[in-house]
Amino acid sequence: MRGSGSGCRGVFGLSEICLLRCSTTANWTPFTEQMEFLKSKSSSRLAEVKKLVDAGWQKNAFNQYVSDMISVHRSLPDPRDEWCKAPNRFLEDLPQTSVIICFHNEAWSVLLRTVHSVLDRSPSHLIKEIILVDDFSDMEHLKQQLVDYFSDEPRVKIVRAKKREGLIRARLLGATHATGEVLTYLDSHCECTTGWIEPLLDRIARDPTTVVCPVIDVIDDTTLEYHFHDSGGVNVGGFDWNLQFNWHAVPDHEKKRHKNPAEPVYSPTMAGGLFSIDKKFFEKLGTYDNGFDIWGGENLELSFKTWMCGGTLEIVPCSHVGHIFRKRSPYKWRSGVNVLRRNSVRLAEVWLDEYSKYYYQRIGNDKGDFGDISSRKRLRDNLGCKSFKWYLDTIYPELFIPGEAVASGEIRNLGYGGKTCMDSPARRSDLHKPVGLYPCHRQGGNQISVHGRELCLDSACKPEDLHKPAGLWPCHGQGGNQVKIVAAT
Ligand SMILES: [Mn+2]
């Protein structure tokens, strides 16, 4: 099995298609062209393929059929800026890392491509081991078949959870088996590019309290094409008062610190799936809140405490890792528990100080049962961490603080009897539609704030945009041509 690439399917007489189309290079025939090719064959074969394609989408929420046709050792473009390739850019003596990849029912070719991309594109002395944490998968290919496949690669270790643990506990399970000085977490549907690990380890070698994230490139969920931008397009992580992670452009105060856009940039938060951290520093920070369940909030917890407790969080533009972004989650979870809210309330209680009220307002002040947080508060005290106000003022000054708005309320047109107010639709599908005027209803609602989502009044501003309507866009916190629609407080 090893070295045979993804193993073209010979089923349904399609082997000739594999021979023609299974390229081991990045120059891969677009899926639509393949379908055209297939149409020239008999319609019953086409129907069989379509069935397989649909089944792959159903199981994974990405195009598994296409992934299975691409080599697990495929070559990728080198997305790095020239600055990254300068001699002696990174330290010679770098710490070894354990790469921890958690998965639950991941597709065979996608998981293998993740692992091979690490082995194929990292200097071997820097990879202490790759720990595959199986979060209680039931797909057959992830059992003995996976063990057999990696049987002669001693650096690949497989750890199995005894029940479904969720991402947070699975990551911690991986950490308990790790022997490297640095932990590097990856999702199980990633591909590392040339030179991805050295710039991450370099930052930690220089200062072990630095937590680093690669730039996350997009692997197309339909075609598996690899998309990337140069360092000028790098974004940093933020969050909104629903405690949802978001991305924003590198702010001016941060740009001023750099001579070259490829230098590591401070990021207020991390997306959470892909990062490297010194193992001892991770332990000192108390890893993740052990009261967190399954998924969600852990990325903000680690971000806040990294900054507040003496560390630094950076995005490293010289390091690129591709990730398949799915439009839905293919996994089942027990229903009836609002896990994300529980995690977020614990996060707010422990780390947000007086700013927690902005989150609570957004969940109707219904904190629910969030368990015991005393040990997490003690951790914060023992580490002597700084205040959330310090974090906001120093690390994330571009975040809008609802209580600091100069005014809040309805916007009323005083002409013609003063009975019309600015109003907006607020469903996700209404985004980017113009705002308009409706009779004032004095009920707040969409005439004062767009509930549950951080949307801003935004207008185009070029001369040719004159007379075009203003509309709602996700807030970018950069001022410019956006005005915030604030909640009444
Ligand atoms: Mn992912």
For residue range 195-208, list pLDDT tens digits in order.
Answer: 999 999 999 999 99
pLDDT of 166 over the 70 cut: yes
pLDDT (0 to 100) of residue 6: 38
Average pLDDT over residues 400-404: 85
Kindly list the protein residues that place their beta carbon closer than 5 angstroms to ligand 1, a single-atom ion.
187
pLDDT tens digits, one per residue of 226-261: 999 999 999 999 999 999 999 999 999 999 999 999
User: Does the pLDDT at position 18 exceed 50?
Assistant: no
Give me the DSSP letters along 199-244.
Answer: HHHHHHHH-TTEEEEEEEEEEPTTT--EE---GGG-EEEEE-TT--
Same domain, 165 and 281: yes
pLDDT value of position 50: 93
Do 162 and 20 sit in the same domain of this protein?
Answer: no
Is pLDDT larger for residue 268 or for residue 455? 268
Residue that terminates a domain, selected from 69, 92, 117: 69
Residue 462: what pLDDT?
74
User: Same structural domain for residues 199 and 87?
Assistant: yes
Specify if 5 maps to a domain. Answer: no
**Cα–ligand 1 centroid distance for 136 (angstroms):** 17
Average pLDDT over residues 93-110: 98
Reduce the DSSP state of residue 331 to 3 states and report it.
coil
Identify the pLDDT of residue 448.
60
Reduced to 3 states, what is the DSSP secondary structure of residue 155?
A: coil
325 alpha carbon to ligand 1 midpoint, in Å? 6
pLDDT confidence tier of residue 446, bands split at 50, 70 and 90: low
* Ligand 1 mean position, distance from CA 156 (Å): 20
Q: Mark whether 95 and 147 lie in a shared domain.
A: yes
Residue 470 counted as domain residue = yes
Nearest-angstrom CA–CA distance, 22 and 252: 45
**Confidence (pLDDT) at 335:** 55
198 is a domain residue: yes
- Tell me, yes or no, whether 189 and 297 share the same domain: yes
Split at pLDDT 50, 70, 90, the class of 2 is: very low
How many domains is the chain built from? Answer: 3
258: CA distance to ligand 1 center in Å? 30
- Determine the structural domain holding residue 461 and report its residue range: 412-484
pLDDT of residue 428: 62
- Residue 458 pLDDT > 50, yes or no? yes
Here the CATH number for the domain that contains residue 295 is: 3.90.550.10
**31 assigned to some structural domain:** yes
Same structural domain, 132 and 265: yes
Residue 195 and residue 125: Cα distance in Å, rounded? 14
Last residue of a domain, one of 32, 47, 69: 69
Quote the ligand 1 centre to 133 CA distance (angstroms): 14
Task: For residue 71, report the distance from its CA to the centre of ligand 1, in Å.
Answer: 20
Q: What is the mean pLDDT of the chain?
A: 86
How much is the pLDDT for 489? 36
Considering the domain architecture, whether residues 184 and 237 belong to the same structural domain is answered as yes
SS3 per residue for 76-116: CCCCCCHHHHCCCCCCCCCCCEEEEEEECCCCHHHHHHHHH
Rounded to the nearest angstrom, the gap between the alpha carbon of residue 183 and the centroid of all alpha carbons in its chain is 17
Q: How far is the CA of 334 from the centre of ligand 1 (A)?
A: 20
pLDDT confidence band for 476 (50 / 70 / 90):
low
Residues 31 and 174 in one domain: no
Position 22 confidence tier, pLDDT thresholds 50, 70, 90:
very low
Q: State the pLDDT at residue 30.
A: 62
Span from the CA of 401 to the centroid of ligand 1 (angstroms)? 30
Collapsed DSSP state (helix, strand, coil) of residue 484: strand
d(CA 241, CA 247): 14
Percent over 70 (pLDDT), the chain = 82
Q: What is the pLDDT of residues 343-382, one digit of tens each?
A: 999 999 999 999 999 999 888 899 999 999 999 999 999 9
Distance from residue 271's CA to the centre of ligand 1 (Å): 10
Residue 403 lies in a domain: no
Q: 396 CA to middle of ligand 1, Å?
A: 25
pLDDT digits (tens, 9 = 90+) for 266-323: 999 999 999 999 999 999 999 999 889 888 899 999 999 999 999 999 999 999 999 9
Residue written as token pair 């070698």? 205
CA of 187 to the centre of ligand 1 (A): 5
- Do 300 and 169 reside in the same domain of the chain? yes
Whether residues 29 and 160 share a domain: the answer is no
**Distance, CA 324 to ligand 1 centroid (Å)?**
7
Domain end residue (candidates: 69, 101, 117): 69
Q: How close is the Cα of 246 to the center of ligand 1, in Å?
A: 15
Residue 448 lies inside a defined structural domain of this protein: yes
How many other C-beta atoms can be found within 10 angstroms of the C-beta atom of residue 377? 13
pLDDT at 206: 98
Q: Are 46 and 101 within one domain?
A: no
Whether the predicted pLDDT of 11 surpasses 90? no
Report which listed range, 178-187, 398-407, 447-456, is most confident.
178-187
Rounded distance from Cα 274 to ligand 1 centre (Å): 9
> Is position 367 within any domain?
no
Q: Do the domain assignments include residue 336?
A: no
CA of 212 to the centre of ligand 1 (A): 17
Q: How far is the CA of 218 from the centre of ligand 1 (A)?
A: 11
267 shares a domain with 154: yes
Tell how far the Cα of 275 is from the centroid of ligand 1, in angstroms.
12
What backbone torsions phi and psi does residue 167 show, to the nearest 5 degrees? -60, -40
What digits encode the pLDDT tens for the residues 43-88? 788 889 999 999 999 999 999 999 999 999 999 999 999 999 999 9
- The band of 39, judged by pLDDT with boundaries at 50, 70 and 90, is low
CA–centroid distance, residue 330 to ligand 1 (Å): 11
Q: Compute, in angstroms, the gap from residue 365 CA to the centroid of ligand 1.
A: 31
Alpha carbon of 91 to those of 35, 125, 196: distances in Å?
Answer: 48, 14, 14
